[in-house]
């Protein structure tokens, strides 16, 4: 039986790949909620470098992006006193658990994953890591008995799969894993690319100028990118699900999320104004919201030793949870434990 303790805090697990520039889509879709709810919850936020290498990464760049993402986690306001912030590859249980879960996961479940289908269509050769990517993600979540997984919409299928894998393992080996809940934001679950509002803003394209706004981009760059963002030939500044209004709607959603104003207030505010004014105001709102992030980020990047120290501490705390869970999983599967002679 799983232990249920009403006084225990809800446990949260989520992660981001250190595979490119972190953008406002990552922030509005996921990290903002992590920060807002961190005091009420027990939090595990991972930098998933083992997921990142499912597509080619330059080793020195990966190292840089990993520390960079750690600094961004802290700069957006995650408090290391209440959040366990750690690098996936520094906790070996993730790889170990992934292997065992691979052995209870039908290949058909993995071949159906949208992200796999898209990425394997793009790449010339598909490695096995790309196929089992969601099993590693399930291992991340299940090792911590997470109650909630707050992510953007593009991750719902992976979290559903983690639930299926948990249930299948529990069925085969007896109650072992908590079945986690997917948590999506009400607004901002899918921020669109500024140069093409029919597609999501994506880390793998964030280095292309005009696609995304990085969390630590400087104000002039933000103004430039928002001013050049794709809208339409109309004049109407209203929230809309219409395809040709996706650009304006995206800017309005960003504005809504960052100002906390209601859609009615926002539409009234922009009534009679043109797209140039909309873009200017959206840019200023983004700049103001990101200014403290950029400052803290710079301070953190100036002290890489402190950053590595915090990550070491995080990995140790994560192991404190993952290692005993791993021992339980191995026992359930029937592996002979190492004897303490």
Q: Which residues bind ligand TRP (CB under 6 A)?
A: 13-17, 48, 51, 137, 140-141, 149, 151, 155, 158
Pick the closer one to ligand TRP by CB: 48 or 310: 48
- Phi/psi at 181 (5° precision): -105, 135
Query: Does residue 231 belong to the site contacting ligand AMP (CB under 6 A)?
Result: no
192 is catalytic: no
Which segment (56-64, 198-206, 282-290, 307-315) binds ligand AMP by CB under 6 A?
198-206
37 is an interface residue for ligand AMP by CB under 6 A: no
Q: Shortest Cβ distance from residue 220 to ligand TRP (Å)?
A: 29
Q: Is 158 in the site for ligand AMP (CB under 6 A)?
A: no
32 binds ligand AMP (CB under 6 A): no
**29 contacts which partner out of ligand AMP, ligand TRP, none, CB within 5 to 8 A by kind?**
ligand AMP
Task: Classify each residue of 38-53 as buried b or exposed e, where b means 16 or more C-beta atoms within 10 Å of its C-beta.
Answer: beebbbbbbbbbbbbb
Q: How many whole angstroms separate alpha carbon 125 and alpha carbon 77?
A: 39
β-strand partners of 214: 23
Neighbours of 221 (CB within 10 A): 14
25's contact among ligand AMP, ligand TRP, none, with CB below 5 to 8 A by partner kind, is ligand AMP
Smallest distance from ligand AMP to CB 152, Å: 2
Active site residue 200: yes
Q: What's the CA gap between 134 and 157, in Å, rounded? A: 9
Residue choice 159, 191, 311, 315 for contact with ligand AMP (CB under 6 A): 191
Task: Between 54 and 176, name the residue whose CB sits nearer to ligand AMP.
Answer: 54
Q: Which of residues 284-303 bind ligand AMP (CB under 6 A)?
A: none
Q: Please identify which residue in 102, 155, 195, 231 interacts with ligand AMP, judged by CB under 6 A.
A: 155
SS3 string, 253-309, reads HHHHHHHCCCHHHHHHHHCCCCHHHHHHHHHHHHHHHHHHHHHHHHHHHCCHHHHHH
Q: At 105, list the tokens.
A: 């996961």
In the complex with ligand AMP, the residue whose CB is nearer, 138 or 201, is: 201
Nearer to ligand TRP, 101 or 149 (CB): 149
Residue 94 near residue 140, CB atoms below 8 Å: yes
Contacts of 194 (CB under 8 A, 6+ apart): 201, 210, 211, 212, 213, 225, 226, 228, 229, 230, 247, 250
Is 274 exposed, middle or buried (CB count within 10 Å of its CB: 0-12, 13-18, 19+)?
A: exposed
Residue 249 interacting with ligand AMP (CB under 6 A): no
Positions annotated as catalytic residues are 119, 200, 203
Residues contributing to the site for ligand AMP (CB under 6 A): 16-17, 25-26, 29-30, 151-152, 154-155, 189-191, 200-201, 203
């Amino acid at each position: 039986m799983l232990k249920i303790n009403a006084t225990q805090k809800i446990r949260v697990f989520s992660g981001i790949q250190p595979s490119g520039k972190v953008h406002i889509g990552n922030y509005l879709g996921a990290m903002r909620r992590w920060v807002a709810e961190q005091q009420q919850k027990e939090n595990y936020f991972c930098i998933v470098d083992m997921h990142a290498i499912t597509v080619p990464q330059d080793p020195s760049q990966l190292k840089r992006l990993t520390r960079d993402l750690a600094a961004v986690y802290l700069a957006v306001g995650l408090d290391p006193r209440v959040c366990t912030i750690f690098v996936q590859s520094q906790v070996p249980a993730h790889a170990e658990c992934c292997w065992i879960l691979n052995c209870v996961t039908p290949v058909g479940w993995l071949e159906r994953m949208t992200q796999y289908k898209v990425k394997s269509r793009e790449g010339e050769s598909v490695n096995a890591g790309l196929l089992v990517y969601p099993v590693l993600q399930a291992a991340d979540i299940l090792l911590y008995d997470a109650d909630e997984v707050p992510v953007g919409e593009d991750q719902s299928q992976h979290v559903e799969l983690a639930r299926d894998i948990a249930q299948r393992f529990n069925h085969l080996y007896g109650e072992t894993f908590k079945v986690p809940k997917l948590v999506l934001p009400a607004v901002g679950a899918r921020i669109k690319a500024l140069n093409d509002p029919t597609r999501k803003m994506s880390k793998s394209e964030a280095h292309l100028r005009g696609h995304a706004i990085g969390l630590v981009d400087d104000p002039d760059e933000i103004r430039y990118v928002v001013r050049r963002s794709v809208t339409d030939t109309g004049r109407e500044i209203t929230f809309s699900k219409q395809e040709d209004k996706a650009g304006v709607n995206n800017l309005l959603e960003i504005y809504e999320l960052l100002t906390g104003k209601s859609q009615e207030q926002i539409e009234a505010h922009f009534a009679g104004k043109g797209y140039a004014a909309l873009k200017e105001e959206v840019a200023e709102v983004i700049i103001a919201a990101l200014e403290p992030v950029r400052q803290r980020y710079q301070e953190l990047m100036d002290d890489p030793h402190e950053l590595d120290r915090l990550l070491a501490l995080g990995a140790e705390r994560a192991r404190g949870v993952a290692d005993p869970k791993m021992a339980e999983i191995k026992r359930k599967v029937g592996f002979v434990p190492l004897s303490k002679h």
